[in-house]
């Protein structure tokens, strides 16, 4: 779900609505003309201006229409009713064994029973079935959270945790390599800062970046700022990103040092649970989650550097 409240003031031109909903401009106009599904405001010169609520509604209509429902019949429903209907359709379809939630549960079962081969087989199956993005966002990420919780609450031992870690890391590494991209792809350098040994978040970020067409260089865990800076320079990094699972004491200092060592035009990003509780460090951007990470990488793809 979105964390930013839908502001009524935000008004979007039709091109943005197309990008957000996946509906073509012809369909957007046809639906409005024929069924009056939304009533966007108009700018002074007659261009449509959609509110966030409109966009939300159109997205729901799109999903309902794809689920086989008739647009004409849906037009008179309120957005709330639409939401309910779409949820219901999704519920009905999710009895199949091939959905994210099901994979996650089965994978957690494999973790509890200390069955790494089964875990790997499940991961492979989930990846091929769902595609890399859904796999990472709806299977791997929640699975990591669940493993962490289970461990803290004593429902699994450290042996379970280590076995699952090894399998997951290996799998994510394989995925990243399988997504390798052309040599002229933009480059991102990943590491975890000094004091941070957990590489999960970084490996997930690596796979997501590789999927989006980046060349990924993984420097390693527990690295001092100077080494990260050197690696970034030698690697020709356009972006440097760190993952911090725990809120280690010296994290802010390390980030500050790294920021000072890198050229200004190289963004420094930091993600993970440890980053959430972090004080602001000038010139360092916090990454909330995978979607945010991919959004941050996107614009740099086309910035022509020379």
Partner DNA sequence: TTAGGCTTGACAGTGGATGGACAATGACCT
Partner DNA sequence: AGGTCATTGTCCATCCACTGTCAAGCCTAA
When binding is defined by CB under 7 A, the residue of 8, 15, 95, 153 that contacts DNA is 15
Q: How far is the CB of 143 from DNA (least distance, A)?
A: 19
When binding is defined by CB under 7 A, the residue of 39, 47, 177, 253 that contacts DNA is 47
CA angle 256, 261, 262 (to 5 degrees): 100
Stretch that binds its own copies, among 17-25, 26-34, 165-173, 247-255 (CB under 8 A): 17-25
Residues 44-103 that bind its own copies (CB under 8 A): 52, 59, 63, 66-70, 73, 84-98
**How many residues are there in the chain?**
306
CA distance 78 to 13: 23
| Number of amino acids touching DNA (CB under 7 A) | 25
| 306 touches DNA (CB under 7 A) | no
| 273 touches DNA (CB under 7 A) | no
Q: Which is nearer to its own copies, 21 or 192 (CB)?
A: 21
- Residue 26 binding target from its own copies, DNA, none, CB below 5 to 8 Å by type: DNA
Residues 148-167 that bind DNA (CB under 7 A): none
CA angle 267, 270, 273 (to 5 degrees): 165
DSSP 136: I
| 250 touches its own copies (CB under 8 A) | no
| 73 touches DNA (CB under 7 A) | yes
| 25 touches DNA (CB under 7 A) | yes
CA distance 235 to 248: 27
Task: Report yes or no: 274 and 245 within 8 Å, Cβ to Cβ.
Answer: yes
Maximum distance among all alpha carbons in the chain? 66
CA distance 268 to 121: 35
Q: How far is the CB of 293 from DNA (least distance, A)?
A: 15
| 99 touches DNA (CB under 7 A) | no
Task: Report yes or no: 191 and 223 within 8 Å, Cβ to Cβ.
Answer: yes
């Amino acid at each position: 779900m979105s964390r930013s409240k839908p502001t009524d003031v935000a008004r979007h031109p039709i091109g943005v609505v197309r990008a957000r909903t996946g509906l073509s401009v012809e369909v957007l106009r046809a639906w409005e003309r024929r069924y009056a599904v939304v009533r966007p405001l108009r700018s002074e010169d007659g261009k449509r201006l959609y509110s966030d609520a409109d966009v939300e509604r159109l997205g729901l209509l799109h999903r309902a229409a794809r689920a086989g429902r008739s647009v004409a019949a849906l037009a008179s429903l309120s957005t709330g009713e639409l939401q309910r209907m779409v949820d219901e359709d999704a519920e009905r379809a999710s009895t199949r064994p091939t959905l994210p939630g099901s994979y996650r549960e089965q994978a957690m079962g494999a973790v509890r029973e200390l069955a790494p081969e089964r875990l790997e087989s499940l991961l492979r199956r989930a990846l091929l079935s769902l595609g890399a993005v859904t796999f990472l966002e709806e299977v791997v990420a929640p699975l990591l959270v669940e493993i962490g919780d289970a461990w803290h609450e004593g429902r699994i031992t450290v042996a379970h945790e280590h076995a699952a870690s090894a399998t997951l890391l290996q799998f994510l590494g394989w995925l990243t390599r399988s997504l390798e991209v052309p040599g002229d792809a933009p480059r991102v350098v990943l590491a975890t800062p000094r004091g941070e040994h957990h590489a999960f978040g970084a490996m997930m970020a690596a796979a997501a970046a590789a999927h989006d067409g980046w060349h990924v260089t993984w420097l390693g865990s527990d690295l001092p700022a100077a080494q990260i800076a050197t690696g970034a320079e030698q690697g020709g990094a356009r972006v440097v990103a760190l993952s911090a699972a725990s809120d280690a004491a010296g994290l802010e200092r390390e980030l500050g040092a790294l920021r000072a060592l890198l050229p200004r035009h190289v963004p420094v990003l930091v993600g993970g649970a440890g980053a959430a509780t972090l004080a602001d460090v000038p010139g360092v951007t916090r990454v909330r989650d995978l979607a945010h990470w991919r959004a941050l990488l996107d614009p740099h793809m086309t910035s022509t550097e020379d």
